[in-house]
Amino acid sequence: MKINDLDPLMPYQPQESRYESMKFRRCGKSGLDLPMLSLGLWHNFGHSDDFRNARTILRTAFDLGITHFDLANNYGPPYGAAEENFGRIFEKDFKPLRDELLISSKAGWDMWPGPYGNFGSKKYLVASLDQSLRRMGLDYVDIFYHHRPDPATPLEETMAALDLIVRQGKALYVGISQYNAEDTARASKILKKLGTPCLIHQPRYSMMDRWVEDGLLDVLETEGIGAIAFSPLEQGVLTNKYLKGFPEDSRAVKDGRYLQTDKITPALLSTVEQLNELARKRGQSLAQMAIAWLLKDPRITSVLVGVSKAAQLNDNVNSLQALDFSEEELTKIEQLLRA
């Protein structure tokens, strides 16, 4: 990470008003409330990023009442870098505030060479969390996720590993990510039987990626599991960022792994332009409307946002001021998305 400490930040004193504007929702049938906006460290916290900017993003998030920071073992680049850099920032700015934070991590994707550094075995999940805790300088995480389904490992083993991690005191709650409806129901039943209920599911969900509506949200409601949606802005497509070309600092230009410029077609931009106009009539930016559209469903506990600049967080948080949609607006959105 670029060490930008020539003009070091002053010691951090959080805003006393930090809980006044943030709204919280209960996570499933647990006793835990999550902020309706959470901060993901998937991008912009790697070793090639600016340390001062990363600190400013985290400070701004917390000052706005965003108490939940979400990581994973392989966030970077390189793998592990986001957790390492978060640990440095935690030590500098947030250690006295640990009990006001919800910190999560995950394992399930490739992390180190060989047969024990990937997927969903008990060996991998326990070892990975031990490494994550060392990188972040923490005694425990609040939530630990299995990051993706592993069809080659018995689900009973993977869920038993999550239960073990809680019993070892390394996590307070457990969750799963990207599991389909059927596997989520199975995982929930196994965890309930073990005595460690599944707290939360982290699916990819946006106006343009709606697979969760095909049964998963119904399962979550039935099982009493919360949901935190990631990629709510479809990697920046659901903003005004690409309406006039491709900015040099945009994700499509800087990192084509998750969004390729050739995927942003004239037809897609036409849809985005019309959604942007609808958002304007609602008194919102397109990003704000896209977040509000997700949160209109009470089954969505929180929306996970990632930002490259701290100022973007203010825009995101302002989405909470207008979560209601008229039937006319919802119908128009559906028409535009199906065109």
Q: pLDDT tens digits for 310-330?
A: 999 999 999 999 999 999 999
Whether the Cβ atoms of residue 189 and residue 179 lie closer than 8 Å to each other: no
**CA–CA dist 278, 289 (Å, integer):** 9
**CA–CA dist 279, 54 (Å, integer):** 29
Choose the CATH number for 24-236+291-323 among 3.90.1170.30, 3.20.20.100, 3.30.70.20, 1.10.3080.10: 3.20.20.100
Whether the Cβ atoms of residue 274 and residue 335 lie closer than 8 Å to each other: no
Averaged pLDDT in 10-residue chunks for the chain of 339 residues = 66 97 97 98 95 97 98 98 98 98 98 98 98 98 98 98 98 98 98 98 98 98 98 94 65 51 85 97 97 98 97 96 98 95
pLDDT the model gives residue 253: 46
What is the residue extent of each domain of the chain?
24-236+291-323
H helix or E strand, kind and range, residue 157: helix 155-167
**CA–CA dist 158, 208 (Å, integer):** 31
Closest CA to 41 of 310, 335, 331, 307: 307
pLDDT the model gives residue 264: 85
User: What's the helix, strand, coil split of the chain in %, to 5?
Assistant: 45, 15, 40
Dig out the tokens for 164 from the structure. Answer: 């073990």
Burial of 249 (0-12, 13-18, 19+ CB in 10 A): exposed
Closest CA to 206 of 180, 239, 183, 173: 239
Whether the Cβ atoms of residue 24 and residue 290 lie closer than 8 Å to each other: no
pLDDT the model gives residue 245: 55
